[in-house]
Each structure stands twice: as structure tokens, then as C-alpha cells.
Amino acid sequence: MAESAMTRRGERERYDVKLLQVDWGFALVLSLIAGIGALVLYSVGGMSWEPWAYNHLLRFGLCFVLMIALSLVDLRWWLQLCYPIYAVSLLLLVAVELFGDVRMGAQRWLSIGSFSMQPSEFMKLAIVMALARWYHEAGVKDATLSWKLIIPLSMIMVPVLLVAHQPDLGTAMLILLTGVTVMIVAGLDWRIIGAAAAAGAVAIPFFVIFVMHDYQRDRVLTFLNPEADPSGAGYHILQSKIAMGSGGLLGKGLGLGSQSQLNFLPEKHTDFILAAVCEELGFVGGFTVFALYGLAVYMALRIATLSHSHFGRLAAAGTTATFALYVLINGAMVMGLAPVVGVPQPLLSYGGSVMMTVMIGFGLVMGVKVHRYQELPRSQSFFAQFE
């Protein structure tokens, strides 16, 4: 266990030292995004803290504390918990398949007593951790071009298919893309990447026509031609574009966005909050939000490169990938560049489960920063090192 010569043994284990190592700049960027979210929620709530803005800030505060607490957890604990968490998440997905509640036409929720949850949400993190763990132990050859790649691929595809069957295409896609991103950054051979991309391009039209549910297909077709049915399925996209476009450079001002205030903008507090931001705060506001997101991604990826352990790198990169995918997919959807797929804008949109997933993920990323000099064993039992 080589430790940096610069510090005394055991010095890094002290929590006050760890707290100083927390990336407070990163935490500030995240807080700013959540703050803008609260501001716009205050506005679209009719210039009122109720019903959204107050809850949003409260949740962010709790998640913030959780994130900092998680950042102090030793990476070895994370490493050991990867497979158990993945296994539990997978079991929960199967349980959803068997016993889940049907809400709004999809079987996504699992109720235990009065507590209900969406296991697919946990899977976004679990897949990153499980893959990071696997690649942490795998050799270079295994990660680039090897039959062993069947293992990470299965780890991705089993939950993806389960979630897609619920059906929750948005989350399934997110898990798939996150997993694939981890595989790529872990060093997947370019030939496999190229072949998979080509196969995907061929398969997508067939998928749209034969596998998708009607409403899903409608959304895709509407995306391709939104003006065909402006009051039906194309309504969301059109109203969202009107909201953003009419904001202009400087926006209509807080509380003055007619599209969001008069309910022309659907889901203005959740999936389409970015449109409300752009309407009321204009291009300046929208640009600021994207700049903060870009900065957050940059900072998180930088943390990933600082890590001395492969697990740390991949876990941080994978979590960041989930976050970046959220931002890009939601942004494209709201601006009419992608079909409407029910993906919220992380930290900006109102909603507890996504915020929790993202903040737990960033807890792990921050943990990677705090423990960046920690070297982790490749295959030994975590508990063995204490012997």
C-alpha cells in the first residue's frame, strides 16, 4: 500500500483533512445550477415558494449533505459494495417486472408499504459501479478486445432490457449509453465501436417500426415532423420552442413568461423547465445554465483523471457520463432536436429521485477526488488488507 511520501501515515484518513480535500468549487457549481432551478420554479409557481421552489431547495440541501458525507467514504468500501448494489438493483428490477405497480401505463414503481421507488433509477448508478469494478480488475487486453467483454456487455444489457420492457425507454437508453460510455473510456477497441455503431444505425428503424409501443412511435414520428399535429403530440415540442424563442436575448423577466405562466408550456416545472428558464431569462439565462453544466462536466472529468485507481477513474467518468447524458438529451428534447422521452434536466428540474441519483453519483465523484491518491488492490478481498 504505497502512500504518498508527502503525508504521514494515517493523516489522509482523518475526516477534517478529508473535508479540506472535498472539491468545494465543484459543489458551488452544482449549488448554482440548483439555485437557478429554484429561482425559475419560484417563478413558474406563480412567484411563490409553494409548491415547488421550497421543496426543491430543501431536497437539494439534504442531497448536498448526503453528497459531502458520501465523499468521505473510503473508496474501498465503494469497491466492495459494487457487485452487491448491482445485484440488489437487478433483483428489484425483476421484482418490478413481477409485482410492480402500473402507473400511467408503465410498470416502473415498486411499493413496499407506503414507500414506493423506481429501481431503474438506482440502476443508473449501480451499472456504473459494477462496470468500474469489473474493469478495475480486468487486464488491458480484456478491456480492449476479448471474449471476456461478454461479461460487461451482459451487465449492461440485462437491466436495459428489463427497464425497456417496463416500458421506460428513456431510462433504458440512458443506462445503455452510460454503460457503453464506460466501456469506451475503459479502452474498447475502435473496431468494435465502429461495428456496433453500424449495427445500431441499421437496427434503429426496425426497432422503431416493430418493437416500439404506439405512443413511443408517435413521439418519434412527431419529433420528425412536429408541425403535423400541433395540438396533439407535437404540441409539447412546438410550445416549448415558442417559449424559448419568444424569450429572446434577455428574456421576458421572472414571472413574466406568458408561455410558462399561462400553462401553454407543458411540464414547465419538470422536463420542460429549461424552456421556462430560456423564456424568462432569455439566451443569457440559457447560456449561463449550459455554461454551468459544461463546467460541472469538466470538473467531474478532471477529478476522474486525477484518480490513482482505475476504479476511481471509471466510476467518476461513468457518473459524469450519466449526468452529461441527462443534460444533452433533455436539452435536445426541449429544443426540438430529439423526441420527447421524459428525461429531466438534472438539478434544474423539480423531482426528488433524479436529484438523489445525481447527487449520490456526485458523492462518489467527490469521494474519488478526496481519495485520489488511494491505490486499490486489483483482486484481493477488501477485508484481506486489514489482516
Q: Interacting stretch for other proteins, rule CB under 8 A, among 101-109, 149-157, 172-180, 241-249?
A: 241-249
* Helical ranges in 72-118 per DSSP H: 75-99
Sheet holding 115-117, edge to edge: 101-103, 106-112, 115-117
Interaction between residue 317 and other proteins (CB under 8 A): yes
Of 247, 320, 327, 317, the closest CA to residue 285 belongs to 247
C-alpha cell at 329: 438529451
CB-CB contact of 281 with 249 (8 Å): no
Interaction between residue 249 and other proteins (CB under 8 A): yes
Interaction between residue 305 and other proteins (CB under 8 A): yes
Of 39, 125, 38, 119, the closest CA to residue 82 belongs to 125
- Residue 111, helix vs strand vs coil: strand
Q: Interacting stretch for other proteins, rule CB under 8 A, among 43-51, 61-69, 146-154, 275-283?
A: 275-283
Interaction between residue 76 and other proteins (CB under 8 A): no
Q: Which is nearer to other proteins, 155 or 376 (CB)?
A: 376
Q: Which is nearer to other proteins, 239 or 357 (CB)?
A: 239
C-alpha cell at 310: 482505475
Of 17, 22, 19, the closest CA to residue 366 belongs to 22
Task: Report, in Å, the least distance between residue 205 CB and other proteins.
Answer: 23
Query: 124: burial class by Cβ within 10 Å (0-12, 13-18, 19+)?
Result: buried
Of 303, 306, 328, 321, the closest CA to residue 358 belongs to 321
The residue within the footprint of other proteins, chosen from 293, 311, 326, 362 (CB under 8 A), is 293
DSSP β-ladder status, 101-103 and 115-117: unpaired
Interaction between residue 304 and other proteins (CB under 8 A): yes
Interaction between residue 287 and other proteins (CB under 8 A): yes
Task: Report, in Å, the least distance between residue 169 CB and other proteins.
Answer: 20
- Residue 30, helix vs strand vs coil: helix
Q: Interacting stretch for other proteins, rule CB under 8 A, among 12-20, 27-35, 89-97, 254-262?
A: 254-262
CB-CB contact of 268 with 46 (8 Å): no
The residue within the footprint of other proteins, chosen from 61, 84, 105, 139 (CB under 8 A), is 139
- Residue 22, helix vs strand vs coil: coil
Task: Report, in Å, the least distance between residue 50 CB and other proteins.
Answer: 19
CB-CB contact of 11 with 20 (8 Å): no
Q: Interacting stretch for other proteins, rule CB under 8 A, among 6-14, 62-70, 81-89, 289-297?
A: 289-297
Interaction between residue 190 and other proteins (CB under 8 A): no
Q: Interacting stretch for other proteins, rule CB under 8 A, among 9-17, 118-126, 196-204, 328-336?
A: 328-336
Interaction between residue 242 and other proteins (CB under 8 A): yes
Task: Report, in Å, the least distance between residue 331 CB and other proteins.
Answer: 4
Interaction between residue 143 and other proteins (CB under 8 A): yes
C-alpha cell at 86: 448491482
Sign of CA dihedral 23, 29, 30, 31: positive
- Residue 346, helix vs strand vs coil: coil
The residue within the footprint of other proteins, chosen from 152, 247, 344, 363 (CB under 8 A), is 247
Q: Which residues make Cβ contacts (< 8 Å) with residue 316, sequence separation at least 6?
A: 300, 301, 303, 304, 307, 364, 365, 368, 369
The residue within the footprint of other proteins, chosen from 18, 124, 219, 313 (CB under 8 A), is 313
Interaction between residue 253 and other proteins (CB under 8 A): no
Element (H, E) at 116: strand 115-117
Interaction between residue 245 and other proteins (CB under 8 A): yes
Tell me which residues in 344-373 interact with other proteins (CB under 8 A).
none
The residue within the footprint of other proteins, chosen from 37, 119, 152, 331 (CB under 8 A), is 331
Interaction between residue 170 and other proteins (CB under 8 A): no
Binding site for other proteins (CB under 8 A): 139-140, 143-144, 181, 184-187, 239, 241-249, 258-259, 262-264, 278, 282-283, 286-287, 290, 293-294, 297-298, 301, 304-305, 310, 313-314, 317, 321, 324, 327-328, 331-332, 335, 337, 375, 377-378, 380
